[in-house]
Structure 1
Amino acid sequence: MGYMDPKYYMTHRLTKKSDAYSFGVLMLELITARKPIEHGKYIVREVQEKMDKAKDLYNLHEFLDPAIGLGTTLKGLEKFVGLAMRCVKEAGSDRPMMAEVV
């Protein structure tokens, strides 16, 4: 269920933007080393609430997997996180198409 968007859950019909949502969740899993839902907390919501683009590492220090080298310059992290967050927008119309993501 963590991969599917709130519309699919209600209608059980996939949309063209459902894949983008799932991919966004996967991207967040990759940089956090967390499951989509752990201990009743949803990774998308957790990151959305904590994220601050004006701060270093988007203020996501506590969420990022230390194995990705937090002591080094993480080139592209902002783009990666930005794309992930675009993919998990609540409204499907606000999400990119998978062709754009690629």
Structure 2
Amino acid sequence: MDIPEEAVLLRIFIGEEDRVDGGPLHEAIVLKAREMQLAGATVLRGAMGFGHSSRLHTSKILRLSEDLPLIVEIVDSEDKIDAFLPVLEGLMTGGASALVTLEKARVLQYGPKAD
């Protein structure tokens, strides 16, 4: 699988407690991206953050059960990302509060370096 040098970065900001069909939203996003043969997806967990509600989410010891911020990042061609966006929208119909961004990305390497 190749990614063009001029690609797109899809970044999805959600909460750890966001769900779809009874399971974690971030897992559903990654599995759907894999099913659609996108180049890859990574879930990053934030130690602290807030969103449109201005409610602070933190990983402090006394508040381990808080809804920590997650970021799902996917880089692929613009066409493949554009095809994924309606699917993503369908996954986030359960009331998940999300921020979704797109930006141009220059891919310098994907996979092992050629000798």
TM-score by length of 2: 0.29
More strand by proportion, 1 or 2?
A: 2
Larger relative contact order (Cα-Cα within 8 Å, sequence gap ≥ 6) = 2
Kindly name which structure, 1 or 2, has the bigger radius of gyration based on alpha carbons.
2
**Greater helix percent: which structure?**
1
